[in-house]
Amino acid sequence: MFAADQLSVRSATGKRVELAWTGSSPAWTVERRSGAGQFEKLATPSAASYADESIAPYASYRYRVRDQAGVVSNEVVVGPPPGGINLAARLPNAANSNNFAGYTALAFDENGDPAVAFLWMDPNSDGDYTDSTLNFVRWDRARYAWKTPVKVGVAGGIAYQNLAPVSLACDGATGMFVVSYPANEVAGVQVAVSHDGGGTWKSSAIGADLEGGVKSTALMALNGRWLLAVVAELGGRLYSGPIDAAAADWKAQPIPAPDKTKLMANSNVVLTLDMNGKPLVAFWAQPEEGENFRIIGWSPESGQTATFLETNGRTADTPAVQVARGPGRMHLILSCPLSEKDSDFAIWYSTSPGGAWSKPVKLPVDGPRSTNIPMALAVNSKGRIAAVFSSNSGSDDAACGYPVLSTSTDGVKWNTCGLGKRYGERFEPQPSTLNAGYGPDDRLNIVWHQDGESKFGQGVLLWREP
């Protein structure tokens, strides 16, 4: 006879689920259910274990085992995170909610599941920010739950507002994670590596000769190599090296700004792919004279820079940019009030088939509201565009709530409807951080910091498209 909780999951990936159970029986029947369907007979092993390799990589499954007498075990669930709102990292008891997860970075693990790095400023709430930490959390398919967050390293009292100091990447072939981040009063940028799926981390510093403190970083794993773009107060660099090479051995290239401009240190840097699948670095450049700010794209392989967009004399008070590749087109959103008559609209969209960029159009919001940073951009394999942004002021609420989510299939017609209304919750109009990304299953994932109380909890919230 079965006792409670006899069936367990030894491991679960996007390719294989290993089950084990206790008890004695001359034969067993493993049953599996997917979605709302019925349990179906899967296998009849003679031993008290079974490995299921007939799974879809992004599906969830429920298993149970029946002995020869017909007694059924407990049920277990495996698979990616459920659709809807997930509390990926809960605000610890007595912690300051404003300081927990003030900045986040999103990546997808070797299974295509979301993983998040986040800052915890002043974790003991004593007013001393030198002990602020960088932390990491990921989904556990075997437990069908979020793992307990682990500390990556000490970042100290670094600045993160209107910046992107932390970046996270995973090499899908090896499951190796890398996080980049600045550490207060430590020269250069910290590169933390985990070979065990984020359980343990080892940090080392590179770029000690960067001029001024590091403000923004962007990581990518590409064709067996790591790429890391870094912007400091007085310049930027791109580092690259083989997946298995120590960060100290990565090669460095200066990120060039066009003549009579300089990299803006008070904005983020973007690392993405161009239309040919080659690395592309995008950043804001400030003119030596005047107010005509520019968004610049630089190809590390060719060494060429190109002006994507100009502000035509408009001042970028809170500059930010996001660039993503889609089928047949590049996509870009920027933060700058480009129109005097639409001064409340700071988030604009532009697209390019590989040459000139289109005239920017303001992204709509469903209410008498502004559009503001933080912001995020994602494009899936079918060309669906998702822009997520804040809306910190207005005479009334957005109709669908926050975070504001605007989607389009062509970049011309946009449908704006945030997450709050559909889940019966009023999330903050302006969270301190926003991330968005389509996983390899083309499901949209959105991450933000939930400061105020909500029925989903406080901390790192992640919405996964159902």
The domain locations on the chain are 8-78, 99-254
Q: Are 308 and 296 in contact (CB under 8 A)?
A: yes
* CATH fold match for the domains 8-78 and 99-254: no
Sign for the pseudo-dihedral over CA of 113, 117, 123, 125: negative
CA distance 288 to 245: 39
The SS3 assignment for 416 reads: strand
Q: Are 65 and 59 in contact (CB under 8 A)?
A: no
Q: Are 325 and 274 in contact (CB under 8 A)?
A: yes
The SS3 assignment for 13 reads: coil
pLDDT per residue, tens digit, the chain (466 aa), is 566 679 999 999 999 999 999 988 889 999 999 988 899 999 999 999 999 999 999 999 999 999 999 999 999 999 999 999 999 999 999 899 999 999 999 999 999 999 999 999 999 999 999 999 999 999 999 999 999 999 999 999 998 888 999 999 999 999 999 999 999 989 999 999 999 999 999 999 999 999 889 999 999 999 999 999 999 999 999 999 999 999 999 999 999 999 989 999 999 999 999 999 999 999 999 998 888 899 999 999 999 999 999 998 888 888 999 999 999 999 999 999 998 888 899 999 999 999 999 999 999 999 999 999 999 999 999 999 999 999 999 999 999 999 999 999 999 999 999 999 999 999 999 999 999 999 999 999 999 999 999 999 999 999 999 9
Which overall architecture, per CATH, does domain 8-78 show? Sandwich (2.60)
Q: Give me the residue label for tokens 């002990």.
A: 131
Which overall architecture, per CATH, does domain 99-254 show? 6 Propeller (2.120)
